[in-house]
Copies of this chain bind each other. A is one copy, B any other.
């Protein structure tokens, strides 16, 4: 067993600061209902200062190859990490997307928008159903239409606001346009 280069403890655990990053993202993953292992992997890669290979993820975090494979695929799919090609090394290296803005933006577009669009179709189905059943419904029909109108209105609003939200988050610095609307008696 030869050592190509003198890497510091590839098979050891995490140093205290890495551990803290991992803990943080495990916590975040938990609140997002994502598997713990996904949080661990992302935390590890987020803390790293350069791309890390598959086997290091496995060894340093002490998780199984199966978990690592699943987690890395998932994170890649949602755009939270990406593959990095390293010449003369057969292994795949991964690095975390460290721009929170991009992470947030892709979460918005990959996760929340599809759901909103799905909801929109379901609401349409609901409206149709009510229209069809209107004769038998009597004066309940009006009530039901009220309810669906509320759903549709909210959902449409949300869909329209998504890109706006995205924009708000990509603003450069901590100077936001407060008091966006309304009279603003400011000098």
Contact = CB atoms under 8 A, between A and B. Distances in A.
B168 A177 contact: no
Contacts of A177: 180-181
A180 B169 CA distance: 13
Interface in A132-175: 133, 137, 140, 143-144, 147, 150-151, 153-154, 156-157, 160-161, 164-165, 167-169, 174
For chain A, what secondary structure do more than half of its interface residues adopt (helix, strand, loop), or is it mixed?
helix
Contacts of A46: 147
A49 B143 contact: yes
A20 B157 contact: no
* Tier of interface size on chain A: 35 or more
B126 A31 contact: no
Contact of A100 (B133, B150, B161): B150
A98 B150 contact: yes
Contact of A164 (B98, B123, B178): B178
B174 A169 contact: no
A125 interface: yes
Given A100-B153, A154-B101, A16 B133 contact: yes
Given A47-B147, A49-B140, A181-B177, A129 B17 contact: yes
A27 interface: yes
A17 B49 contact: no
A21 B17 CA distance: 49
A179 to B, nearest CB: 10
Contacts of A168: 161, 164
5 contacts: A16-B129, A20-B130, A27-B118, A165-B165, A177-B181
